[in-house]
Amino acid sequence: MLDQINGLHHVTSMASDARENNRFFTEVLGLRRVKKTVNFDAPDVYHLYYGDEVGTPGSVMTYFPFPGIRKGRPGTGEVSRTAFSVPDGALGFWQERLSAKGAGELTIGDVFGAKTLNFSGPDGDAFALVEVPEDRRAAWTAGGIGEDQAIRGFHSVSMRLRDEGATAELLRFMGFDPVDTYGDTRRFALANGNGAHVVDVETVSSARHADQGAGSVHHIAFSVADRAAQAVVRKALIDTGYQVTPVIDRDYFWAIYFRTPGGVLFEVATNEPGFDRDEDTAHLGEALKLPSQHAHLRDYLETHLQALD
Q: Which residues bind Zn ion (CB under 5 A)?
A: 12, 221, 267
Closer Cβ to Zn ion, 228 or 248, answer by number: 248
Among positive and negative, which fits the CA dihedral 205, 207, 212, 215?
A: negative
Closer Cβ to Zn ion, 173 or 257, answer by number: 257
CB of 255 to Zn ion, least distance (A): 6
What order do you get walking across the sheet with 46-51 strand by strand? 32-38, 46-51, 60-65, 7-15, 217-224, 265-273, 253-259, 248-249
SS3 (DSSP) at 91: helix
CA distance 14 to 72: 9
Closer Cβ to Zn ion, 126 or 221, answer by number: 221
| Count of C-beta atoms within a 10 Å radius of residue 92 | 12
Closer Cβ to Zn ion, 145 or 221, answer by number: 221
Closer Cβ to Zn ion, 111 or 284, answer by number: 284
Pairs from 299-307 (Cβ < 8 Å, separation ≥ 24) = 301/38, 301/43, 301/44, 304/44, 305/18, 305/38, 305/44, 305/46, 306/17, 306/18, 306/19, 306/46, 306/67, 307/19
Instruction: Put residue 11 in one of left, alpha, beta given phi > 0 → left and psi -120 to 50 → alpha.
Output: beta
Q: Pairing between strand 253-259 and 265-273?
A: antiparallel
Closer Cβ to Zn ion, 60 or 129, answer by number: 60
Q: Are 123 and 168 in contact (CB under 8 A)?
A: no
Closer Cβ to Zn ion, 187 or 219, answer by number: 219
CB of 12 to Zn ion, least distance (A): 5
CB of 265 to Zn ion, least distance (A): 9
Amino acid at the residue 265: L
CB of 99 to Zn ion, least distance (A): 31
CB of 10 to Zn ion, least distance (A): 6
CB of 210 to Zn ion, least distance (A): 18
Which backbone phi and psi does 126 adopt, to 5 degrees? -90, 115
CB of 219 to Zn ion, least distance (A): 6
CA distance 68 to 253: 29
CB of 221 to Zn ion, least distance (A): 4
Closer Cβ to Zn ion, 116 or 260, answer by number: 260
